[in-house]
Structure 1
Amino acid sequence: MISRRLRSSSFILPPSSFIIPMSKREFTLSTEYRYNRSGPARWILSHALRYPYLPLLAILATIFNNLGHSYIQVFVGRALNLITSPGWETAALAKIALGAASMALVQGVFGLARNYSTEFLAQRMERDTRQELYLSLLGKSQSFHGRQRIGDIMARATNDVRALNVMFSPGLMLIMDSAIGAVIPLILIAQITPRLLLAPGVFLILFAITINNYNRKLKPVSMAMRDQFGEMNAGLAEAIAGIETVKANVQERYEWSKFTHNARIFRDHFVRQGEIQALYWPMLMFSFSWALGFLHALLLWRAGSIDLGQVATFMGLMGVFRFVTFISVFSFNL
């Protein structure tokens, strides 16, 4: 995903084109922060590690957020066991409810911490990237700027830099939340009985196959749509900047036709992206696996291997995978 995001940005990928060594620049700053530009992934990592406490806080907060959410299902199962047993007491139920409420509080607090850290990291990423781009452009020669399309540079400095922000928040945050949110329910399900891992295992296999196929179809369309946006923006900016020349040569109709042609291509890519997202098979795989897990849990309950509360806990933990499945339709395109 990181490579796909950076390939759509012309000023980042070809280092020899937009980013040049400091020794060859016309202007340099002694206080400029140096990033690792040997590759897209290393460049992203060098930006993120400039603030190492933010990624660490985001990971820890995501783990505790998902633990809190998953443990609520455990308390629900305990409550069901309690109220189906004879002679249960209200005080015992109140303790279980208090435990569930405390887990909900943990989920909320660490959810805010996760959002705080990822949003700050995303904003600083956008700020530092834009500063890096502007410093690079200031160091270029006049002949370089004379060869570039102003609209294309404007698109890179606005839309593409902003896309890096969105890639971190909510994109990277949702992917990280989905990954950790898939591991923690598996651990808690295994603590009930390892035999219940059948349905989640089937789901994860089917999910991996379908999400890979989904990304394989979505990737070229998303890249083409972003490239087309830069082309459309560049043409429009040049036409507006040279409007006197356009009018002097009676080229209004030509420029209008060129813009509408580029806009139609962008629209076609946008529609195609929507069609791919509409045929999102992982949700069907989740529904199938959820039903399979319910059947398997009831068979184990009938055999006496687990109690009814554990069935409820298992179904609640299986429901956690719904968020993992649903959010992936958006997160892999951010």
Structure 2
Amino acid sequence: MTLSKKVLTSDPVVEFSPGKDPYVKSRKKGATRWILAHIFHGTNRLFIIIIIFAIILAANLSSITYIIMGEAVSVLLTPPLTSLLGNYIIIILIIGITGPLLRILSRMLIEILAQRIERDARREFFTNLLGKSQSFHDRQKIGELMARVTDDVRMLNFLISPALSLVIESFTFLFIPIIYIILNYPIQLIIEPIIFSISFLFLVRSYSRNIGPVTFELRSNFGLLTATLSETLSGIEVVKATVQEEKEMKKYFAHAKNYRDAFIKRGKLEARYLPILVLGLIITAGFMHCIVLFNLGLMKIGDIIAFLGILGLLRFPTNISMFVFSIFRI
């Protein structure tokens, strides 16, 4: 019995082969390109489009809610028009239900996306690891490999959910309120949000640069800590036979101290996160500006309430960016 030419010329079967690897080229171009390749792989692109659309629409509805509340207050202070309050209540109720539903949708999709990326990255890591030679494994620290395949791959999940989702929401809530302030209120009120936006971007950029090396140091020390403990436990008989317990303890405590120092250093940087202070000053300045315009007859009480509500939306990107950019710098 003879074999066909097609069988003889086909590619050999390789054990543990992952098949077609769509990430080969991206791996050669660096970590950023590799992560982007995972994010935009296959049907993930559709998820990204829906997530961005839902987040932008939810941010618009949040600003519109405060504008309608301001108009409702103005109607309440005008007795002949109080009969319209029912309409405002219904509109606010509809928007109040739609906004959270859109956020739930976006967070469900971002969580699915994060789980898929973690699954694909873990599979890619294991299949490539199984293809390595025995000499490669002999040169590696088992504990550090385990830290990479468990904790570091898990961080990819956190990078997408909630970090990526929160970054998109942060920049959406940073710029959309400014548009509604321009469209609905005296143009002079644009000063405060623009000053805050410029200051926020500058301070976040500085914060991200400072926390990047510290976060890298923290992750590196965690890998060394795990590797030292794993090697000591796996070779505990040799350690005891050669009476090296004290030496191994000193090595472990040295790595633990470095990890603790890096953790404290990151905490100090987070404690000096200045955008929170700047936001408080901007909201105070915005309120004072509203009072001046009110005295000049350019604003009503309802407009002041709505403006401060829209300005308060800036709290979300301010508070969440400290956490998000720490993850992104990992």
CA distance in 2, matches of 1:29, 1:95: 60
The answer on whether the counterparts of 2:18 and 2:124 sit within 8 Å (CA) in structure 1 is: no
State the match for 2:225 in structure 1: 232
AA at the equivalent of 1:121:
L
Correspondences of 1:213-228 after superposition (within 5 Å): 213-228=206-221
- Give the alignment partner of residue 325 of structure 1, picking from 299, 318, 322: 318
5+ residue gaps in structure 1?
1-22
CA distance in 2, matches of 1:55, 1:155: 29
AA at the equivalent of 1:63:
I
AA at the equivalent of 1:81:
S
Correspondences of 1:2-13 after superposition (within 5 Å): none
Q: Using the TM superposition, give the Cα deviation of residue 30 of structure 1 relative to its aligned residue in structure 2, in angstroms.
A: 2.7
CA distance in 1, matches of 2:18, 2:195: 56
- Once the two structures are superposed, residues 2-58 of structure 1 have per-residue CA deviations (whole angstroms, 9 ceiling, x without a partner) of xxxxxxxxxxxxxxxxxxxxx9x9853334444522222221121111221111111
CA distance in 2, matches of 1:81, 1:244: 80
CA distance in 2, matches of 1:27, 1:215: 40
State the match for 1:315 in structure 2: 308
State the match for 1:121 in structure 2: 113
State the match for 2:101 in structure 1: 109
State the match for 2:178 in structure 1: 186
Q: Using the TM superposition, give the Cα deviation of residue 289 of structure 1 relative to its aligned residue in structure 2, in angstroms.
A: 0.8
Q: Secondary structure at the match of 1:225?
A: helix
- Give the alignment partner of residue 268 of structure 1, picking from 239, 261, 264: 261
State the match for 1:195 in structure 2: 188
- Give the alignment partner of residue 86 of structure 2, picking from 63, 83, 94: 94
The answer on whether the counterparts of 1:73 and 1:317 sit within 8 Å (CA) in structure 2 is: yes
- Once the two structures are superposed, residues 126-165 of structure 1 have per-residue CA deviations (whole angstroms, 9 ceiling, x without a partner) of 1100000001101111111111111111010011101111
The answer on whether the counterparts of 2:218 and 2:259 sit within 8 Å (CA) in structure 1 is: yes
Q: CA RMSD in A?
A: 1.6
Question: Which sits farther off after the overlay, 155-164 or 68-77?
Answer: 68-77
What count of residue pairs does the alignment treat as equivalent? 310
AA at the equivalent of 2:30:
G
* 4+ aligned runs moved over 4 Å, structure 1: none
Matched, 1:254 2:247: yes
CA distance in 2, matches of 1:180, 1:173: 11
CA distance in 1, matches of 2:18, 2:99: 45
The answer on whether the counterparts of 1:64 and 1:106 sit within 8 Å (CA) in structure 2 is: no
Q: Using the TM superposition, give the Cα deviation of residue 239 of structure 1 relative to its aligned residue in structure 2, in angstroms.
A: 0.6
The answer on whether the counterparts of 2:173 and 2:317 sit within 8 Å (CA) in structure 1 is: yes
AA at the equivalent of 2:40:
L
- Give the alignment partner of residue 28 of structure 1, picking from 17, 20, 44: 17
The answer on whether the counterparts of 2:23 and 2:34 sit within 8 Å (CA) in structure 1 is: no
The answer on whether the counterparts of 1:62 and 1:111 sit within 8 Å (CA) in structure 2 is: yes
The answer on whether the counterparts of 2:224 and 2:255 sit within 8 Å (CA) in structure 1 is: yes
TM-score of the superposed pair, with normalisation by structure 2: 0.90
Correspondences of 1:32-181 after superposition (within 5 Å): 32-35=21-24, 36-37=26-27, 38-50=29-41, 51-90=44-83, 92-181=84-173
CA distance in 2, matches of 1:199, 1:120: 38
Q: Using the TM superposition, give the Cα deviation of residue 98 of structure 1 relative to its aligned residue in structure 2, in angstroms.
A: 1.1
Q: Which has the larger radius of gyration?
A: 2
Q: Using the TM superposition, give the Cα deviation of residue 88 of structure 1 relative to its aligned residue in structure 2, in angstroms.
A: 3.1
State the match for 2:291 in structure 1: 298
Q: Using the TM superposition, give the Cα deviation of residue 232 of structure 1 relative to its aligned residue in structure 2, in angstroms.
A: 0.7
